[in-house]
A and B are shown apart, each in its own frame.
Chain A
Amino acid sequence: MAETTLQQTRYTPQQIQKFRQRIIITIKYILLIVLALLFLFPILWSFINSIKPPSEALAVPPTYLPTQIVSDNYTELTTFGRVGLVQHVSNSAIVALLTVVGTIILSTLGGYGFARFHFPGKNILFIMVLSTLMIPFQSILIPLFVMLVQVELHNSLLGLALVYITFQLPFGIFLMRNSFLAVPQEIEEAALLDGCTSLSVLYRMMLRLVFPGIVTVAIYAFINSWNEFLAALIFMTDQNNFTLPIFLTNVRSGLYGIIDWGALQAGVIVSIIPSLVIFILLQRYYMNGLMGGAVKS
């Protein structure tokens, strides 16, 4: 008995702790890598297929790796149509920019209002804003278009952006309200008692604390605006104002539902790049430090 106990005390508690942590981290990395491969696979496969020659891209059965690497599927995008890829990308970019800026401003102001202030009708207004999410867009598509024509906002990138902002607001307000609610009230109360106006409290102090929320709203607003198809198609009566998703649909679709798979793949890759870049640039704001530091008080 005594010998067994001697053997067991060869490792210190700290060493055991460290050993356990190493195993946990290794398992973590293994899990992460397996999951990452599963998640990445469809997009990666899209990319591989997009650089195959068009006839190979359609092959039955499909080939695993390209026999040659060509850019045909991509050049098809640049040469298709009368308006051109660049114009459509620029349209999408302008609308996306307007949407992101507008959504951030209104969501932050509104989220703060709903989180920290009490006024009559607050709950009803909040439900009203949220209810914007609860109707399928197809249902109000035509009335909305008729209305836009009345105020001459149809066929304009600005009009489209204003509509996009409206439909981003429920999520934006909901999220920003949550973000503000998570900040302890003592911080603001101190500033307000010192005589600051609500607006400067918001601007100087709260923004830093809810920045991850703002980032999330921005990313989501960008992605949705960049990928949206139906409203853009219906509201634009002039081909020059078509956005990227409409262009890509025209490139890949044919009679009787026939789909040009190569064009689909190239379109996927082309359209995810901007959204990915934005996400990569902004995702570091989800790090622990920013939020945690502010809450410790």
Chain B
Amino acid sequence: MTALQSLQGLSWIQRRKITGILFVLPTVIFVLIFFIIPLLMTFFMSFHDWPLFGDRAFIGFDNYVDLTTDRQFLKSLDFTARYTLLVTPPIFILGFILASLVRHNIPGIGIFRTIFFMPVVIGLGVSSLLWVWLLNDQVGIINRFMLDMGLVTKPQLFMAKPDSAMAVVILSVVWKTVGFTMILLLAGLQGIPDELYESAEVDGAGYFQKLLYITLPLMRRTIALALILSVIGSVLSFDQFYIMTNGGPRNSTISIVYWIFNNSFTYFKMGYGAAMSIVLLVILVILSAVQFYLLRDNT
């Protein structure tokens, strides 16, 4: 309380400024200590030939230059971009459908919300293993079911072709994450007062008009949140490919982070991995900034 009293002498605006800073200070401290400092170390490492074990040497920008001619890095950029573009719409469309379905309190809706959210509480690594098992040609139930139903004549090898491998990974990721998007979108939907819909209906608005002119605009902030998080998550995807496809078939599903992981922990080239990480960070900051700008509040 004495701190506040000593602030009495300052103007209202100055007091607000200081209070604001105080509110965010704990967060900033945490981020500085546990993220920025290690990040600076990583940045430092990126200018070195820094093996996992052994002596390091300063090599300036060599790592970054090498990235431009690294075929696999460029392939990974392409693959990650395609993956992100393919996985984001299903997550959002399905997430929105689910959120709309569970929005009103009809009896038993809590059970459905829980069921849709259940995959989210499993870790991504475990979920990937689960799907490896389900899709397996020997012990997997999906193949058994399709055989019994006569849909196929022999067990399908989902991981054998690049397209089917990517498709089942997307399926497993959508299953795992859509419940979370549903919850985020649900919060946004809840914030829209029913009266707005009611008066629109009186004016003769149909379902799609209500969607386009009321729901979506009012959910701008929520959609921005969900979209930016989802895109970042997809660009940073790793576990699902590491566990489900091992980057195959024929190295066609190696995401950027997978390639960073390989360089750092399989080839022991930590400096090179660090440089890739910094480039990735820059890409993501720009991507997020663009999304923020496009989805900014017009209020």
Contact = CB atoms under 8 A, between A and B. Distances in A.
Interface in B110-141: 110-126, 129-131, 133-134, 138-141
Contact of B115 (A36, A142, A287): A36
Interface string A271-295: 1100110011001101110011001
Interface string B167-210: 00000000100011001101100110110000000000000000
B38 A143 contact: yes
Interface in B21-58: 21-24, 26-28, 30-31, 33-39, 41-42, 45
Interface stretch (A8-16, A67-75, A77-85, A112-120): A112-120
A279 B221 contact: no
Contacts of A35: 98, 101, 116
A110 B27 contact: yes
A180 to B, nearest CB: 11
- The A contact surface, by secondary structure, is helix
B280 A136 contact: yes
A94 interface: no
A291 B138 contact: no
Given A129-B27, A272-B118, A288 B104 contact: yes
Contacts of A129: 27-28, 31
A267 B24 contact: no
A144 B221 contact: no
Interface stretch (B70-78, B84-92, B257-265): B257-265
B28 A128 contact: yes
Given A216-B183, A292-B194, A119 B17 contact: yes
Nearest to B284: A134
A204 interface: no
A109 B26 contact: yes
A62 B38 contact: no
A122 to B, nearest CB: 7
Contact of B31 (A132, A271, A276, A288): A132
A127 B42 CA distance: 19
Contacts of B23: 109-110, 112-113, 117, 198
Contacts of A264: 126, 129-130, 133
Nearest to A259: B129
A239 interface: no
Nearest to A166: B34
B81 interface: no
Contacts of A101: none
A136 B134 contact: no
Nearest to B13: A118
B215 interface: no
A89 interface: no
A31 B117 CA distance: 16
B63 interface: no
B118 A134 contact: no
Contacts of A190: none
Interface in B151-177: 175
Contact of B175 (A31, A39, A60): A39
Contacts of A105: 26
A192 to B, nearest CB: 9
B194 to A, nearest CB: 7
A228 B232 CA distance: 18
B252 interface: no
B229 A171 contact: yes
Nearest to A229: B125
B277 A62 contact: no
A136 B138 contact: no
A163 interface: yes
B45 to A, nearest CB: 7
B257 A284 contact: no
A178 B221 CA distance: 7
A158 interface: no
A106 interface: yes
Give me the 9 closest cross-chain CB pairs, A-B, nearest first. Answer: A117-B20, A113-B23, A227-B123, A275-B121, A139-B277, A143-B41, A110-B27, A134-B284, A143-B38
15 contacts: A36-B112, A46-B130, A62-B140, A62-B141, A110-B24, A116-B20, A131-B285, A135-B280, A138-B273, A140-B41, A143-B39, A143-B42, A166-B33, A174-B228, A295-B191
Given A61-B147, A134-B236, A279-B121, 4 more contacts: A117-B19, A136-B261, A212-B190, A271-B123
